[in-house]
Structure 1
């Protein structure tokens, strides 16, 4: 695993690369680079330079063109840069060519995200899920990440006989590891399903959203329990479930892994059991960072991911968080500002009629009573469909 560690107290440094294409404008490429820099810092490296290049499509051999590669290579060698990170996935030949040319650690977006997940995972389930995804991703991309791969392995002890390249042995070892991890994950998934079934018919609410929008802070506030909340991408990898009571109505609240653009397919597949917390939930709380310039894009990414896992048809409470960080306008009070924002977003095409909308600050607990009221209403509606006679004497 590539862990971000300081070598002899030296800060790990990285350069970032993105393309401007017919499908990706310069503005969008720079926005993705900002996000990539945040991802890179989450793994422990400091971004020292970014590069963009206009190409109709990535170069089949080196992703960027020959001239740009020479420019990048010269900078990396002169500044002794440790990593280079590409905002899109590299194919196996691109990865091999780039490592050979640049003589430094080469990341693409997917591998960077996978290593962040691996460094964040705490439970056996999450660790197994990420290890499986990472091995599946690396299998066709074996390069000098294993420094011995170009040497020949001789001797009759090797399964393939004398002269077999070690890369073939490593491929076989990874395949064996994948098989072991799949079996281990299947066993864990079975246990997780049993645990979910044992929860009975209690209403289940899942918090979803783009990464770093304040889901864990909201979870802590609603459940009154200590949940890790950091200003880092993917602070939460393991799903966390807490039982919550709104007066006399109980429900289960789960915090789930944040979504992100270009999330590796293998990761989504491997995190099936974790995503089942979302898929099997009765109600979703979709949290959005109201300050982010790409909030509508973030909403669309989350909605598309929910559709991909067949979880887009659930009652949803759309929560715009971090209103405390909005730029203040002297002529508007906080209440007036929230009302103005509400009218703006209600008129946007991206919001469906089913979405309940509320504006809050989970950190400052602003407008939390409105959030609790809307959530209680949704929980009550589902609760009384399950238990139509629950607390009958209280309500009749």
Structure 2
């Protein structure tokens, strides 16, 4: 027997309906917020992620699935969605489109070589939105509100929104110098990754999982102490808009997103549900002014977020929330005899063309077994066809909710069913 690869999963009937429900919810919300879908390739030139995500990140250094194709090109299965969207934005010159900002959404599989654990797979599915072309703090608040609204729309209550600012370029440079001065005396005590990060991107030291309990982390310089007046004002405006939208949040100056392209607003949404697990983050995002330029595009501000569907399902389970999904047929046809089987196929086709969900037996079961199959499918009505019904040009229709039966002519089946469902 060949099993699936480690870190992947099969989503079987009974579970896949939950995924479909969440996809519909996400797409409906995107429509309400006026975000339009963009679909990018599952693999890109590796350079897209090296330049877009940042070569000091764990994603680029350790987690990417990279391969060389037959044309000797280095390609990578996408580990996240933002860099691909930014690449498409540049390539197709969406910055010149009359509609600005470009409000885009995506959903699909991403790939990271990580140690598999609950809610963290090597192939996982992300929902994400990106707003490119606006530096208005109002759209930062809109993106954050969108994320919170999505979680709340499926019933989650144990949520915590954590907010921070990473400041503008001047703020980050001042903070960077302070971090280098702070961590250099204890550099040899940090992990090998952080020793490299201290040289290239010291902000990433604050996000280290290995050194999070090191004594130096407790007294590390906070970005809020190095903000320019413009950065402070921008952050205050974001918070005012969130207040106006009724979005509750807490400010955490230690929040650092794990990708190099973030600046100004950064946020994460946590689950505080009991039993959810040690890794509480459900989703995260922030502003990434400079990413489009890194991919050879014009100066373009942007903000977005992404969430893992796997972790969303974990949060729903932790709060005991059952999604309103059901598998139910409108009709099940019980056919007895070869001629009746033939007629049933034609009736099924007509019903399906009328948007009525219908099925029948394909295993030659007896009548009693066919009725059991109808019960398992939660069919609302059972249509019975035998020799007598064929002679009379009728079907017996049984209402499974109350057990009543009526005879209906072949021509009237569709209207009869539609009136009752």
Q: Structures share a fold, TM > 0.5?
A: no
Q: Which has the larger radius of gyration?
A: 2
Task: Normalising by structure 1, report the TM-score.
Answer: 0.30
Task: Normalising by structure 2, report the TM-score.
Answer: 0.29
RCO comparison, higher one (Cα < 8 Å, 6+): 2
